Amino acid sequence: MPTPTSIAGEGPRGPRRSSGNRSLERDPTQVPIKAIMQTEIAVSDLSLPADQLLESLIEEGIGGAPVVDAEGHLLGIVSKTDLLCAWRDLGTQRDRQPLTAGDVMMPVVFALTEDSTVAEAAALMAYEGVHRLPIVDRETRVVGVVTTLDLSRWIAQSAGLHAPDIREIEVREV
């Protein structure tokens, strides 16, 4: 089990200088996004019921997922916010049809290819106001995802600060 790590405060309880490899200190216009993207990702198909999708997102601890066809080609993206807004907009209609990922996904997706850079990802996310970008191969099959947290972690590590992966953090009751 990972060692508990606190991410608040100063000194040993907060961000600290890493004594390890500082090879991440590179120009973000030269660092390929595949160096920091997540490759073990959750994806959804169009027909997945929205309630099951939300449950999966919560269980995985993620805010959204790409929606793909049977071959893994990117069709859209859906977030927890998209799901909640769709249900809110339906109100209390008792006879409504169950929603699917295809019903609530954002079909216009901002995506980058594997050969894009960290700087391009940061610029696109900031310009479009999105928190996650699917990364696709040349055939638009999803090969990864990069989030604002991934970018923040890369910046901190590039500055020599220890920025633990979320899987390294253990929640403790106080």
The CATH number linked to 70 is: 3.10.580.10
Please give the model's pTM, rounded to 2 decimal places: 0.74
Q: Which pLDDT score, from 0 to 100, does residue 168 have?
A: 58
Q: What is the DSSP letter of 49?
A: B
pLDDT tens digit sequence for 93-136: 555 668 899 999 999 779 999 999 999 999 999 999 999 999 99
Q: What is the DSSP letter of 17?
A: B
pLDDT tens digit sequence for 130-158: 999 999 999 999 999 999 999 999 998 88
Answer yes or no: is 19 within a domain. Answer: no
What is the rounded (10 degree) CA torsion for 115, 143, 47, 65?
-80
Q: How many other C-beta atoms can be found within 10 angstroms of the C-beta atom of residue 67?
A: 26
Higher model confidence: residue 90 or residue 56? 56
Answer yes or no: is 13 within a domain. Answer: no
Answer yes or no: is 171 within a domain. Answer: no
Answer yes or no: is 91 within a domain. Answer: yes
pLDDT tens digit sequence for 38-86: 999 999 999 999 989 999 999 999 999 999 999 999 999 999 988 888 8
Answer yes or no: is 4 within a domain. Answer: no
- C-alpha–C-alpha distance, residues 157 and 59, integer Å: 27
Structural domain including 56 reads 26-164
Answer yes or no: is 10 within a domain. Answer: no
- 53, 84, 164 from 64: Cα distances, Å: 9, 12, 21
Number of structural domains found in the chain: 1
